[in-house]
Amino acid sequence: QKTTDEQHFAQEATEFLSSICYLMRIPDPDVRQCVVEAVQSFFCSGIPPKPPDGLRPTRPGYRQQLLKHSDVPKLLLLSMSALEDQPFIKLQLLQTLQILSRSSDDICASVLDERGAESICLHMNEPDPSAQVLLCSSEILWNLLEGGMKEEVIAQLSSVECVLSLKESFLFLLEKASQRWERQLRNQLLMITTLIAEASSSVLVESLFAKLLVGLLTFPERNPPYSSDGLQLRQLLLNLLVFLCRDPAALQILRDEQVMLHLLSLVNPDGDQERSSAQQEELQLQALDVVSCMAPLLLDDYVFCRGNTRLLLLLDRCIGTGVLIQLQAGCDEQDVVVVEMMSDIQWILSELCESDARAKEQFGSGGVEMVVNFLKRGSEKFYSGLGHNRLLLSTVDCVWSCVAGSDATEDYFLAKQGASLLLDLLRTSPRCVHGVVLSTLLDLCDNPNTRSQILSWRDTDGQTAPRILLELWRDEEEELGVLRDQHGGIKDPKKPILTHLQQKVSGDSSFPADSPSAAVLEVSENLRAKIYLIFCCLGFQELPGLSAEDFVTLSIVRRYLTFKVGEVWDEVSRELVLEGTRLTSSDEEALRSICETSEETARRVLEEQCDILEQQQSVELHGEMMAYTEMKSHWKQRELTAQSWKNYVSRTSTYNVLKEVKVRRKEQVESSRPTPEDGGAAGPPAEDFITDFLSAENGDVLGLRGLNVKMARTSIRPDQNQESRTELD
């Protein structure tokens, strides 16, 4: 196998490079400069124009591998503290580290192992006649962030000393920056500061760097109005506020510097007009984003600065210029921004109308048209990931808060088949939506027109609303682990509606006096109470489209309140036993009677369910017998038809058979004639008989087509003296 000197001497070359860097310990400036230049030229040198005879230059990738496996980056970093009085050599060393850190992630990791980020940050403000040390140090820090472990770099820079060093550098550039690269370097240091604030903003507050940056944001901008660097500085400061507001200690700084007023002034359309329209819109959007994060935390400042009024003015301006109309016309339902905007509008309307009857009336027909339009879209895109789940929930919540409670708005909503749309949604939507849909239907049931619309509703399979509600009840009980038999009936009369969780909690545990028990909490945590109340509005009699299983479930739903009261008293009884409380004889008898009432009711319901199932079984059995009888009659008719056809074929195809039939008919006719009594003639028949006769008329057409034949049936009464004759032709 062929090998090269690169493979043979890789270990020796690595050790040699490390040994060269150990020469940095010699205090001679010339030696140190030679070492730094040697490392830099070794990494950056290209192919010599004419290599010596018999030799070939090493590949750049090979040289990079040698540096990566050596201690060169580590030794150069450790040598930096000894170069305070040699700024030129220090600059060369930083430039070398900048090149190395940009080339390999492994070199970045080696530098970080020696806490290189912290060391470079602490030394970047040392006197520098060339003003390049700060630039190189910033580039090295950025290379470490991009190529190394970001969390490790931020952890090393999160000390108070490093933040103070960053603060000093930022102030220097803020005051002295006159060239564009200096302003870009200033913004780069601010980006590093933002990353530190994202991890922990407390160190910025402690070093007073946060107060300086917040004050800089609210201070009038000195840069030219169209400076991109100045705009980027403002955007970075706004972005920094998002992380600062998470720290409670920084909130007081934000209040003192009146940050909310400044943000709302950026949002205000009558604000600073020195920037271009594009720059103004960028700042407005970012300021709105920051306000959405800070307003809940600085609510008093937001109200004091009339934030709602300013935002409504901005919205009115957008509507006035046609922006929202163009957005609605140009975007479809696949646009996440449009879907989110529609959801937010409905959430806002819900909050405004929830407890204000006048606002519900103002919601009016226009609002009803909006929610009806959204309800018609259904829940097909609920899991699309585009925000349609929030849109659907906000629509139902908008119906609940803005429509229910106002008679005029409810009537218009019902006239638009709103209750039917909610039932369609209940049928097709995921389980997580059922609770809010049922609550909305329950509130609408206070309107007398709702009941008829619910009872007349049918889904695509023809199922009725009561049947859908009972199906939801069974699914809910299956989810809760309620004991039921194979037909959905009560299995244990002592636990008619008890859930699995209640059985686990109701052991030997006792609830505090100021907290609700498991039986009470269960009412608000599932759908059974809502379904029961809806049936109370619909009634329990003459419900359409129910099967025997549905009637079995309905018998439980009808006594839900009785069973729930029994559960609560049963919990009271267990609590008294656990606490060792003794009741008086009358109270004990009353408590026992209440508990027994629930069990007796459950037993009566169980008997009722058995009767329903027996009745259903008898109906099914009767239906089977009727079907069997009809089937038997059908087969008998087919046999008779087959036999008649067989006889007809025999008569028409066999002459002897025809003669026998003719003889039998003649005998039958003779035997049917009455015999004379006392030697007299036979009397006429005492009653009419029906026969067929034919009449033929000749027409104008020759042949068979000219013969009109008519057939009729009539009642003939023969005369007393006329003899009846029958001839067989």
User: Which helix (H) or strand (E) covers residue 707, if one does?
Assistant: strand 707-716
The residues, any chain, with a CB within 8 Å of residue 63's CB and separated by 6 or more, are 42, 43
DSSP 399-419: IIIIITT-HHHHHHHHHTTHH
Q: What is the pLDDT of residue 326?
A: 59
> What pLDDT does 615 receive?
87
Instruction: Answer for the pair 495, 578: CB distance below 8 angstroms, yes or no.
Output: no
DSSP state of 484: B
Rounded to a whole number, what is the distance in angstroms from the first to the last CA of the chain?
A: 121
pLDDT at residue 468 above 90? yes
- Domain parsing of the chain, residue ranges: 1-47+56-157, 193-322, 331-457, 469-629
| 423-439 residue pLDDT tens | 999 999 999 899 999 99
* Neighbour-count burial of 653, counting CB atoms closer than 10 A to its CB (0-12 exposed, 13-18 middle, 19+ buried): exposed
Q: Which amino acid is at 620?
A: E
Phi, psi angle pair for 313, to nearest 5°:
-65, -40
* 3-state percent breakdown (helix, strand, coil) of the chain, nearest 5: 70, 5, 25
- Counting Cβ atoms within 10 Å, is residue 512 exposed (0-12), middle (13-18) or buried (19+)? exposed
The tokens describing 430, both together, are 């995921």
User: Which tens digit of pLDDT belongs to each residue from 62-116?
Assistant: 776 777 777 778 878 888 777 877 878 888 888 888 888 888 788 888 888 888 8
Asked if the model's pLDDT at residue 720 lies above 50, the reply is no
> What is residue 663's DSSP assignment?
H
Whether pTM exceeds 0.85: no
Q: Residue 200: which residues within 8 A CB-CB, separation 6 or more?
A: 158
Looking at beta carbons, which pairs linking 294-300 to residues 24 or more positions away fall under 8 Å?
294/241, 294/245, 294/254, 294/259, 294/260, 294/263, 295/260, 297/245, 297/251, 298/245, 298/251, 298/254, 298/255, 298/259, 298/260
Q: How confident is the model at residue 514 (pLDDT cuts 50, 70, 90)?
A: low
Name the CATH topology of 1-47+56-157.
Answer: Leucine-rich Repeat Variant (1.25.10)
Neighbours of 144 (CB within 10 A): 27
Sign of CA dihedral 442, 444, 448, 449: negative
**What pLDDT, in 10s, does the model give residues 234-243?**
899 999 999 9
H or E segment to which residue 96 belongs:
helix 87-103
Given this model, what pLDDT does residue 702 score?
47
pLDDT of residue 327: 56
- Do the Cβ atoms of 193 and 204 come closer than 8 Å? yes
Instruction: Centre a 10 Å sphere on the Cβ of residue 567 and count the other Cβ atoms it contains.
Output: 25
Q: What is the rounded CA–CA span in Å between residue 360 and residue 402?
A: 5
Compute how many other C-beta atoms are within 10 angstroms of the C-beta atom of residue 520.
Answer: 14
Tell me what the mean pLDDT of segment 128-154 comes to. Answer: 85
Buried b (16+ CB within 10 A) or exposed e, 114-136: eebbbbbbbbbbeebeeeebbbb
Which string of DSSP letters, residue by residue, matches 540-566?
Answer: SSS-TT--HHHHHHHHHHHTHHHHHHH
| pLDDT, tens digit (0-9, with 9 covering 90-100), for 213-237 | 999 988 876 555 557 888 888 899 9
3-state secondary structure of 356: coil
Which pairs from 282-287 meet CB under 8 Å and 24+ separation? 282/231, 282/235, 283/231, 283/234, 283/235, 283/238, 284/314, 286/235, 286/238, 286/239, 287/238, 287/263
Per-residue model confidence (pLDDT) at position 273: 58
For 155-212, the pLDDT digits (tens) are 999 999 999 999 999 998 888 877 888 888 999 999 999 999 998 888 899 899 999 9
Residue 122 in contact with residue 162, Cβ under 8 Å? yes
Q: Which residues contact 636 (CB under 8 A, 6 or more apart)?
A: none
Mean pLDDT of the chain: 81
3-state secondary structure 425-482: HHHHCCHHHHHHHHHHHHHHCCCHHHHHHHHCCECCCCCEHHHHHHHHHHHHHHHHCC
pLDDT at 457 over 70: yes
Q: State the pLDDT at residue 501.
A: 77
